[in-house]
Amino acid sequence: MPNIIKVFLWGLVISFLGSLPLGTLNVAAMQIGIQESIREAIWFSFGSLLVEMIYVRISLVGIDWVRKQATLMKWMEWVTLAIIVALAIGSFVAAAKGGGNTKNIMLNNHLHRFLLGMLMCAINPVQIPFWFGWSTVLFTKNILQPVQSQYNVYIIGIGIGTLMGNCVFIFGGKWMVQRIANSQQYLNWVIGGIFALTAVIQLVKMLLHKDGVSKFHGEKQGHGIG
């Protein structure tokens, strides 16, 4: 198998599997798919994956610059935490109102879903250390090489993998709602719980300095990678 295809497949598989655990973006995409339309959810996913691809590109060629932005990334983490809390509250409020079509207040806006996806992904810095770590592994194993063509197919694979992972949530959520009576209300409670649990875990990690950004900057001092 040509190495460039291996690079593409590695990017796709890592991104797809990394998109499957419950998170802010894939759950938000699922909510949009259920309460609005599949089309809007796909637009949201395109926006988020575009920013993710840009972040990966930055992590490949400008990692030293990224590491110097410790304060900015910390602020971005706190903003992300605030948004997760707001999404949790919005889901609980929507569930408490009892209407199946009651929308999460964070998603009840006229912002184009492509731009919303870009915005929510842009303020979530955790993907930078995630992709830096995986890219470092691929570099170490000589799977990924510092070649422009490989960078391009790697990033394309990542984008397709993220879209595939989000589609699991988008179409899976839609399928579930169509087969379970009053499922949208129940789903709002479940999604609110997911966001609340995510917020608690993220806060604990940040306070204990065990979040992705802290580990990312710790690598610079401890190992000098990059």
What string of pLDDT tens digits covers the 226 residues of the chain?
A: 678 899 999 999 999 998 888 778 888 898 888 888 899 999 999 999 999 998 888 878 765 555 566 676 677 677 777 877 877 787 787 777 765 555 565 667 788 999 999 988 888 767 777 787 788 888 888 888 888 889 999 999 999 999 999 999 999 888 877 776 556 667 777 777 877 887 888 788 777 766 555 555 554 433 333 3
Instruction: Give the domain range for residue 195.
Output: 3-222
Query: Within 10 A of 99 (CB to CB), how many other CB atoms are there?
Result: 12
Residue 22 corresponds to which amino acid? L
Q: CA-CA distance, 172 to 97, in Å (whole number)?
A: 24
The pLDDT, as a whole number, for residue 223 is 34
104: its two tokens: 């999460």
The pLDDT, as a whole number, for residue 75 is 72
Q: CA-CA distance, 123 to 205, in Å (whole number)?
A: 17
Query: Within 10 A of 27 (CB to CB), how many other CB atoms are there?
Result: 21
Q: Let me know: does 214 contact 118? Beta carbons within 8 Å.
A: no
| Structural domain count of the chain | 1
The pLDDT, as a whole number, for residue 224 is 32
Q: Let me know: does 169 contact 30? Beta carbons within 8 Å.
A: yes
- For residues 118-145, one letter each, b for 16 or more C-beta atoms within 10 angstroms of the residue's C-beta and e for the rest, the string is bebbbbbbbbbbbbbbbbbebeeeebbe
Residue 7 corresponds to which amino acid? V
Q: What is the pTM assigned to this prediction?
A: 0.72
Q: Let me know: does 212 contact 129? Beta carbons within 8 Å.
A: yes
